[in-house]
Amino acid sequence: MPLPIGHSLISAGVYAAYKGSIDIRQDFKEIALFVFMGLLPDVDFITVPFTGFGAHRGVTHSFAFAFAAATIVFAIARTLSRRVPARLWGFLFLTAALHPVCDFFTYDYLVERGGVELFYPFSLKYYQSPYPLFSGIELRYLNTIFSLHTLMAVVREAFISGTVFVAVLYLKGARVKTGYWLVCEKNDGFK
């Protein structure tokens, strides 16, 4: 996915599946943790000024990285609170793993390589879907970043990931509380 908005919405959807409800005020820390996990693979952007975009979507965009990150974050959470359920690990892994999967379905302008290193360390190959769902953004040049194409890519990404998020809420009959109003009541469908 080109931007954090899509990864954040997908991560919030996984959180809704995990918790069965979203109370933005009360569960702020847990929601933030899931969004953090969903954005973590893009930590490799830090190296871009030194290595160029060629190193982006490498090791940190693999299932192995998602496994390791979920294990470390879960271990820290368990150390902080014994009440953390074991199934949290699976949802953290899913959140981190969905990031490279979404990037796999994004058109990559690095045509000389393209895609994500999904199966590192078992394979160093970069994989990209021949049928992209999301429009990529050419991030190497300012005039392509600030363009109508970028705006349309953001709208498309928000629409697709927003639909996934709402679908999860609906399927789970999830209750969403913003702290001020109830968006959706459990087992009651939308209001």
CB of 44 to Zn ion, least distance (A): 8
Binds Zn ion (CB under 5 A): choice among 11, 22, 34, 103: 103
CB of 68 to Zn ion, least distance (A): 16
**DSSP-assigned states of every residue in the chain:** --SHHHHHHHHHHHHHHHHSEEETTTTHHHHHHHHHHHHGGGGGGGGHHHH-GGGTTSGGGSHHHHHHHHHHHHHHHHHH-TT--THHHHHHHHHHHHHHHHHHTB--S-TTT-SB-TTTTT----B--SS-SB----TTSHHHHSSHHHHHHHHHHHHHHHHHHHHHHHHHT-EEE-SS-EEE-TTS-B-
CB of 57 to Zn ion, least distance (A): 6
Residue 44 sits in the site that holds Zn ion (CB under 5 A): no
* CB-nearer residue toward Zn ion: 40 or 169: 40
Residue 42 sits in the site that holds Zn ion (CB under 5 A): yes
* CB-nearer residue toward Zn ion: 42 or 138: 42
* CB-nearer residue toward Zn ion: 21 or 135: 135
Kindly list the residues in this chain that would bind Zn ion in the complex (CB under 5 A): 42, 103
